[in-house]
Amino acid sequence: MAKDLQDYLKLIEQRGQLRRISAPVDPNLEIAEIANRMLQQGGPALLFENVKGSPYPVAINVMGTVERVCWGLGMESVSELEDLGKKLAILYQPRPPKKVSQAVELGKVLFDVVKAKPGRDLLPSCQQVVLKDDQVDLTQMPLLRVYTGDADKVITMGLMITKDPENKTVNVGVYRLQLQSKNSMTVQWLSVRGATRHLRKAAELGQKLEVAVAIGVHPLVILAAATPLPVDLSEWLFAGIYGGSGILLTKCKTLDLEVPADAEFVLEGTITPGETGIDGPAGDHMGYYGGVNEQAPLIRFNCMTHRKNPVYLTTFSGRPPKEDAMMAIALNRIYTPILRQQVPEIVDFFLPMEALSYKAAVISIDKAYPGQARRAALAFWSALPQFSYTKFVIVVDKDINIRDPRQVVWAITSKVDPARDVFILPDNPFDALDFATEKRGLGSKMGVDATTKVYPETDRPWADMLVSDPDTAAMVDQRWAEYGLADLRLGKVDPNLFGYDIRS
């Protein structure tokens, strides 16, 4: 498995999934335009070696396909992601084993945790070059400006590391940073994130909040930071579990924080509670320009370290498909066992990329009693932190392929009476970037019960569904070549015929 970002870039290049571009390119709009065209067609990662205004090359679209996300986790196929999720589910809500086999499984997972404990690197590559105070100049980095209406250049793939001022627990998150000056940036984050809790505590204690931003880390560390974890679990530990061994950390030069030792760049700074800047507008994941925030926390950086010959890793947000959507598809598979453990009746769930990978969810249940679909929807919203911002939850029976929109739409239209089966939850804390809400940060959620109804949900007998005769279907499968149709897929629907891909 690749040990750092540059090692991973070599891996995907060997597999024909990296294209080097030596022609001069501009980080102002041009790089994003090229990368977006690659994303739209599932193209390779790009390494721009000649970036105007900066001595550093830019890597982008590195996780622009689910296949490359899997490679970043040391896996070869999507099917392995759910196995990883089963392991994480045991850690998420450990339960006393009732069988010897469960005890053995728990023991294996705990051993994996021991192996995943972070190590220390006393000669970290991320500190081969150290720049302090006036030497810090963020304008020398190849920060992207993605859309014409963006207020300024941004960092989008940096890991922000903060620490709780009281209990010293560490939070690692991925937030957008916008350039304000040669040594300062504003941060855009949601109020429920761990770093915001740390800033509130620092303000209560009258302290500055220390902030480190690691840029250009191995993909598995980014995915670990994007995974919703219980507050008391470490993203570093999860990164080690993802990778099968502990990642190496090193202490910052000017802060009491630790960062990945093999990061390409590390920015070190502080947020003074109450010191803010004007952030935005900037293109965001909703597919619109995010509004202007006149009270965005301001980070002042006093130190920058980096490797010799570093590579700047970046991405950008916008209407799907984008890199974050590909990451979300992979994480969806990892979340599934965790979600089943929290809500046992859920058989499977799917977050469509077209719904921004979190705004709408389709879940299937093994329905056993009336009202169960509503219960499952309510439980889903509270199961994991990021699901609290899911606007629509559609619940279907277990025999519906939730990744096939034709089947989901059929379930909605044939099994739903809107007055009975649609329910609204008003006035919930909400994503401030969602312009559809009447009030900023406050919106409603909708659940749709698209399951087969049982008494007393309905007094009408439900007719049997139309299905093929299984014996005839098996016979036709066996004789398919005899019909002269061997070049066709046993009569299966070609998803491309309908303009979408229904492959799981």
Q: What is d(CA 99, CA 97) in angstroms, rounded to the nearest whole number?
A: 6
Tokens of 455: 């008494």
pLDDT over 90 (residue 344)? no
**262 included as an active-site residue:** no
> What's residue 504's pLDDT?
37
Instruction: Work out how many domains the chain is built from and give that number.
Output: 2
Kindly state the DSSP code that residue 152 receives in the 8-state scheme: S
Q: What is d(CA 234, CA 231) in angstroms, rounded to the nearest whole number?
A: 8
Q: What is d(CA 61, CA 39) in angstroms, rounded to the nearest whole number?
A: 7
Q: What is d(CA 67, CA 225) in angstroms, rounded to the nearest whole number?
A: 19
Same domain as 408, residue 297: no
Mean pLDDT of 199-205: 94
Higher pLDDT, 266 or 351: 266
Report if residue 35 sits inside a domain: yes
Neighbour-count burial of 460, counting CB atoms closer than 10 A to its CB (0-12 exposed, 13-18 middle, 19+ buried): exposed
> What's residue 497's pLDDT?
41
Same domain as 389, residue 301: no
Nearest alpha-carbon partner for 116 in 240, 280, 215:
240
Report if residue 421 sits inside a domain: yes
Least confident of 24-28, 136-140, 448-452, 494-498: 494-498
Pairing verdict, β 158-163 and 209-215: antiparallel
pLDDT over 70 (residue 203)? yes
Report if residue 49 sits inside a domain: yes
Range of the domain at 188: 5-313
Report if residue 496 sits inside a domain: no
Same domain as 273, residue 395: no
Q: What is d(CA 72, CA 478) in angstroms, rounded to the nearest whole number?
A: 40
Confidence of residue 498 (pLDDT cuts 50, 70, 90): very low
Higher pLDDT, 382 or 370: 370
> What's residue 99's pLDDT?
58
User: Of the segments 100-104, 217-221, 287-291, 449-453, which one has the largest average pLDDT value?
Assistant: 449-453
Same domain as 285, residue 244: yes
Same domain as 147, residue 285: yes
Mean pLDDT of 201-220: 95
Through-space distance between the first and last CA atoms of the chain, rounded to whole angstroms: 25
Report if residue 269 sits inside a domain: yes
Report if residue 247 sits inside a domain: yes
- Please state whether 57 falls in left (phi above 0), alpha (psi between -120 and 50) or beta: beta
Same domain as 101, residue 56: yes
**pTM of the entire predicted model:** 0.84
Mean pLDDT of 481-496: 70
pLDDT over 60 (residue 98)? no
pLDDT over 60 (residue 493)? no
Whether the Cβ atoms of residue 381 and residue 388 lie closer than 8 Å to each other: yes
Same domain as 262, residue 213: yes
Whether the Cβ atoms of residue 338 and residue 346 lie closer than 8 Å to each other: no
Catalytic residue among 279, 284, 324, 449: 284
CATH, residue 171: 2.30.110.10
Same domain as 374, residue 297: no
Report if residue 498 sits inside a domain: no
Least confident of 6-10, 184-188, 336-340: 336-340
Mean pLDDT of 34-46: 91
Nearest alpha-carbon partner for 128 in 262, 313, 246:
262
What is the overall mean pLDDT for the chain?
87
Confidence of residue 503 (pLDDT cuts 50, 70, 90): very low
CATH, residue 408: 3.40.1670.10
Mean pLDDT of 290-304: 93
Confidence of residue 101 (pLDDT cuts 50, 70, 90): low
Mean pLDDT of 357-380: 93
Higher pLDDT, 167 or 160: 160
Confidence of residue 399 (pLDDT cuts 50, 70, 90): very high
Higher pLDDT, 464 or 28: 28
Give the domain-ending residue among 450, 475, 493.
450
Report if residue 483 sits inside a domain: no
Give the domain-ending residue among 423, 450, 477.
450
Interval 61-76: pLDDT, tens: 999 998 999 898 888 8
Same domain as 372, residue 244: no
Same domain as 213, residue 147: yes
Least confident of 108-117, 145-154, 455-464: 108-117
Give buried/exposed letters for 255-283 (b at 16+ CB in 10 A, else e). Answer: bebbbbbbbbbbbbbbbebeeebebbbbb
Mean pLDDT of 463-471: 84
Least confident of 368-372, 430-434, 465-469: 430-434
Give the domain-ending residue among 430, 450, 470.
450
Same domain as 47, residue 92: yes
Beta bridge partners of 176: 188
Same domain as 251, residue 137: yes
